[in-house]
Structure 1
Amino acid sequence: MRKRFAIALAALIGLAFTFAGSAQTFSKLQFESRVVWKEQFAGFGGLSALELADNGRDFLALTDRMILLQGRLSRENGRISGVELLRHEPLKLPKGMTLKARHRDSEGLALRPDGTLFVSTERLNQVWRYDRAFGAAKQLPQHPDFRTFYGNAGMEALAIDRRGQIYTVPESSPKNRDGLPLYRLTSKGWQILFFIAPVDGFDPVAADFGPDGKFYLLERKFSGIGFRSQLRRFDLGAFDPVGERLLTTAVGRHDNLEGLSVWRDDTGQIRLTMVADDNFKFFQTSEIVEYVLTEPKAQSAVKPLAKMVASL
């Protein structure tokens, strides 16, 4: 039985890559590097979020089973060449909370320059605050919409702007909403800033603010035989609901990309580093991939605040 399954799986993967060659693709980004990430400890996999420091090496990553990882990327000529795991621990829950295994679905990660960390949970549709990465959790207020999110299509994307404000986008449009709401947490609670238009059946899975001050959204689409990824960029000061499409990949080009970190390297180029969720399946891959934005190198008028994760 196992042998027949392996043969069928191999045929399916081959079919996926056949389609990958003919699927419509688009890119304003230049592919730079890819590395497969493997660890031996129980619970590794399901990588759903990534926060990379401005040095392009130190990072925090999150699994969708609530394990927080701290590590460091090695590079050769700027390209990612390896991954070193420095620490991993289960996330602490807010005081007094207990969770069944099926509700332990952490998806989004956002880091303030002062080390304050925020995590979004999909099935609970909550955002938790950590004053330090491996410390105690505090649950933040909720928006009424959060209770209307679909079970496995709730809070995925989480991002912080240069002023320290938190944003989130659900994986699918909530009930009674036309489009994908972009929520921002203010002193008065969560407010809807805009509605992002869904495009070609792609669903949001991660977000980040780039050093250019713009909002980057990573989306994915499952075709039945593999995943496609899409990246869009939005100027929240002159909002267009469709945004600017930067990348659309073919089926099988990458695995299930779910985490995104946008930063500027020492040469002035904007880099987009992403991590893939293997869904804890032996035939999928935990990978880290990186692209460079192919625009003229120029320092942004919006001065970014440095992200530091090495000392957490």
Structure 2
Amino acid sequence: MRRIVAALLVLALAGSTVVLTGRGSGAPDGPFAIRAEPVMLDAADPAHVAVGNLRFVRGWTLTSDDPNFGGLSAIARDGDGFVAVGDAGGVFRFTFDAAGAIRRAEIGALPAGPLPEGGGAVEKRDRDAEAMALDPASGRIWVGFERANGIWRYDRAFAGSDAHRRPAEMRRWPSNGGPEAMVRLPDGRFLVFSEAGRGAQGANAVLLFAGDPSEEGPEPVQLGYRPPGDHRITDAALLPDGRLMVLNRAFSLVDGVSVIVTLVDLGGDLSPGRILEGRQIARIDPPLTIDNMEALAIGERGGRTIVWMASDDNFNPLQRTLLLEFELQD
């Protein structure tokens, strides 16, 4: 992924070595706990909650004293809480109480993944996790890594990895534009989206795996995804009705960060060469509360579809880790 931190001209951490410690805290008041500070969608107008077909419910800025916290690139609901991975190899778990305060939080590190080609300590670039899929039934979690352009499979506790693969079809994807979104379909197939790899008809490359992408299997079907305008895909998640929600982000020095949310109908034949295109349902731009939104999760509450978006702060003091909750009204 092309980091907007470069455009912000804050590069203090860009070349530094990040050694993953795996430290964690199970108590919300622990020294490395995650804290949540409420935010509004529109600080100037708290009554402003509608953005297209999304209705803002609540949001938070997440912080921690743990230097390993940050860089959130993928998130999923797991039971009554969240599990997220970061682009420096961090693993983050947290649960909110009814009042919107974090009641449980853990910070750790991926126990396995791509290693430095020349050996030595694991650096941030080696564990650039950008995509994740979780199977609630088995508890298995799949993580897609940029640069390595590979997929690793873990158990629910992230205690270890028992399978990984670097598919031949992903090897030509840009090292900084590899697997950005991964979705497990109800029938066990997987969609893996490249942020910048070229696919059919000039669209972004998408691979449809017939089964587990971390294991050897049939060649994946090559599809494409066409994002809206100058935006790029940063994550995707399946809605309860089978449609695909896609998070798309753009950045410019003039306009800042922009987010477009689209819905893609996956119905019909997912045959080679099909181009997936979405219908825009929401656009979020400054001065609304927005940052480098990279992670998307879907849930249900009382028959309503709930959407969560989280941001990657790039370990940059000028950015925030946001978690925004919306209700889909579509």
SS at match of 2:314: coil
Q: 1:84 Cα deviation (Å)?
A: 4.1
Which amino acid is the alignment partner of residue 81 of structure 2?
D
Deviations 1:253-286 (A, max 9, x none): 31111111111112x1111101111111111111
* Residues 35 and 82, structure 1, Cα contact 8 Å, conserved in 2: no
For residues 177 and 113 of structure 2, what CA distance do their matches in structure 1 show?
22
* Residues 230 and 248, structure 1, Cα contact 8 Å, conserved in 2: yes
For residues 278 and 237 of structure 1, what CA distance do their matches in structure 2 show?
35
Aligned to 1:102: 125
Aligned to 1:21: none
Aligned to 2:108: 89
Aligned to 2:203: 179
Quickly say closer, same or farther: Cα 1:112–1:29, change in 2 above 3 A: same
Aligned to 1:304: none
Q: Which runs of 4+ in 1 moved over 6 A?
A: none
Matched, 1:234 2:261: no
- Select which of 35, 44, 66 maps to 2:89: 66
For residues 137 and 42 of structure 1, what CA distance do their matches in structure 2 show?
24
Output the TM-score relative to the length of structure 1: 0.77
Quickly say closer, same or farther: Cα 1:264–1:105, change in 2 above 3 A: same
Whose RCO is larger (CA < 8 A, sep 6+)?
1
Aligned to 1:259: 295
Which amino acid is the alignment partner of residue 270 of structure 1?
T
For residues 282 and 96 of structure 1, what CA distance do their matches in structure 2 show?
28
Q: 1:176 Cα deviation (Å)?
A: 7.8
Give structure 2 stretches of 5+ with no counterpart: 1-8, 11-41, 43-49, 212-216, 270-274
Matched, 1:49 2:66: no
Aligned to 2:178: 154
Aligned to 1:137: 161
Aligned to 1:211: 240
Quickly say closer, same or farther: Cα 1:170–1:133, change in 2 above 3 A: farther
Aligned to 1:28: 53
Q: 1:127 Cα deviation (Å)?
A: 0.7
Quickly say closer, same or farther: Cα 1:94–1:189, change in 2 above 3 A: farther
Quickly say closer, same or farther: Cα 1:87–1:40, change in 2 above 3 A: same
RMSD: 2.7
Quickly say closer, same or farther: Cα 1:270–1:68, change in 2 above 3 A: same
SS at match of 1:103: helix
SS at match of 1:281: coil
SS at match of 1:172: strand
Deviations 1:8-53 (A, max 9, x none): 99xxxxxxx9xxxxxxx96111111111111111211111111114
Deviations 1:116-171 (A, max 9, x none): 01111111111100133322124433333311122221111112122233221011
Quickly say closer, same or farther: Cα 1:210–1:102, change in 2 above 3 A: same
